[in-house]
Structure 1
Amino acid sequence: MNIVVWNENRHEKTNETVASIYPDGIHGAIASFLKEAGHDVTTATLDEPEHGLTKELLEKTDVLIWWGHMAHGEVQDDIVERTRQRVLDGMGLIVLHSAHFSKIFKSLMGTGCDLKWRESNDKERVWNVDPSHPIARGIGEYFEIGKEEMYGEHFDIPAPDELIFVSWFTGGEVFRSGATFKRGRGKIFYFRPGHETYPTYHQEEVQQVIKNAAEWAQNQGTPKHTYGNFQPVEQG
């Protein structure tokens, strides 16, 4: 499938720790394991013209993966609307970590998408609460991330269509860390792990979840419905 990995690509330019962990950018690291899985992968970043998300690129994109953190407000509203419409038309969307505050996710959720957070080397235990779901394929009862930023409830999102993962942190907090939503003809998956100063996207289980999610989010020929004034199906 055609996958686009979008990333602000700002931390990598200003933070030596991030640059050492992700020398090709967070987008490069994610694109690498998706390419190894056999997908056609393109990357796009904030500072490119149209943020790299041209109408032509989005039209041929099956799944868009979005990572953002420090520059949500710099994303142009017309690009957000262009992307939102593609999701409604059937493009899959995977929203990672701090992109919970991205304009595209908030516009599709219709809520504030706020949460508790703490950057303090917490261990995260990610529990698989829907083991039969395709996104959980190859994932056991749980997996652990040795050091991560804590996200805690309440997570201000609509009730998910499906809850796949729930995280526990050493500070005692819990979080809905893997959740699906449907909007129009498109499917959306939010996945919590991935703070920029930790090598989370190099971890096998995290990569497996993202690969599974991309396959799940790809549109499988969902029919297009007509709207507005409609002539009778039955005649006479």
Structure 2
Amino acid sequence: MINVTIWNEFLHEKLHEEVTRVYPEGIHIALQKGLASDKLNIRTATLEEAEHGLTEEVLQQTDVLVWWGHMGHDQVADHIVDRVHARVMEGMGLIVLHSAHFSKIFKKLMGTGCDLKWREANEKERIWVVNPGHPIASGIPEYINLEHEEMYGEHFDIPAPDELIFLSWFQGGEVFRSGCTFYRGQGKIFYFRPGHETFPTYYNEHILKVIDNGIHWAKPTITATPVRGNHAPLEIL
């Protein structure tokens, strides 16, 4: 079993009727239900819980953290960001979804502004698989069509990804690096673009399959913790 925590601001769903209609229980619950399997032990956490639901105990029990955020990025306490950052460096996986590109934790891990072009125009998005041999692309067709999504366009201000898996084309002509992996410390990070709050993207079977694949890819690797600092020789000199 992989222990997964799905974190969501859970603000839009309580404030905006058009979002409530799509995700009446919240994006986190839609993802929890859509990803449910006998291989994942899923819990949820939200912004307004104590310590944003991300206590030391919760994070120590989390193999992979899934993060969705948008309007409440600045409300996330810096010491919680530092706590999550430390766990990623120790080996916890992190899946960053859609507008969480602007989250404090993603920007801290990337070391860049993570800005991009965007447009809300109900456009078609075609997500092309550009690395079909990668485990995150397992079981995914050559491309995924989403009839309505928010546009994200290049330039995406991130470091060059360690692996590029998906590339999106939008009806207005833009393209975007929509599925990227990064390695930080002992942790693995997967950024996946689709998931605007007013569209039912997280009910799409292929989108859920990608996220599920990402969770299995990002789970901690069982290996010795690196030892650093002044070190005695292993052999007698």
Please identify, of 219-228 and 22-31, the stretch whose mean Cα deviation from structure 2 is larger.
Answer: 219-228
Contact 1:93–1:188 under 8 Å retained in 2: yes
| 1:37-66, Cα deviation, whole Å (9 max, x unpaired) | 531101000000000000000011000000
- Cα distance in 2 between the residues matched to 1:184 and 1:80: 16
Pairwise CA distance, 1:94: 0.2
The one-letter code sitting in structure 2 at the alignment partner of 1:44 is A
Q: 3-state DSSP class of the match of 2:36?
A: helix
Task: Quote how far apart the aligned CAs of 1:68 are.
Answer: 0.2
Superposed CA offset, 1:95-123 (max 9, x none) = 00000000000000000000000000010
TM-score between the two structures when normalised by the length of structure 2: 0.98
Q: Does 1:29 align with 2:30?
A: yes
Map 1:83-94 onto structure 2 (within 5 A): 83-94=84-95
Structure 1 unaligned segments of length 5 or more: list them. Answer: none
Which residue of structure 2 lines up, in the alignment, with residue 112 of structure 1? Answer: 113
Percent of paired sites with the same residue = 63
Q: Give the residue type in structure 1 aligned to 2:49.
A: E
Q: Quote the residue 2:229 is aligned against.
A: 228
What is the rounded CA distance, in whole Å, between the counterparts of 2:152 and 2:75 in structure 1?
24
Q: Does the Cα contact within 8 Å between 2:8 and 2:46 map onto a contact in 1?
A: yes
1:167, 1:176 within 8 Å by CA — same for their partners in 2?
Answer: yes
Hey, what does 2:83 align to over in structure 1?
A: 82
What's the CA shift string for 1:125-150, capped at 9, x where partnerless?
A: 00000001000001111110000000
CA distance in 2, matches of 1:37, 1:124: 31
Contact kept in structure 2, 1:185 and 1:222, CA below 8 Å = no
RMSD over aligned Cα atoms: 0.8
Give the letter aligned to residue 73 of structure 1: D
5+ residue gaps, structure 2, are none
Matches within 5 A, 1:198-213: 198-213=199-214
Q: Which residue of 1 aligns with 2:215?
A: 214
Contact 1:18/1:196, CA 8 A, preserved across alignment: yes
Taking the TM superposition and a 5 Å limit, the aligned residue runs for 1:173-212 are: 173-212=174-213
User: Letter of the aligned partner of 1:89 in structure 2?
Assistant: E
TM-score between the two structures when normalised by the length of structure 1? 0.99
Query: 1:2 corresponds to which residue?
Result: 3
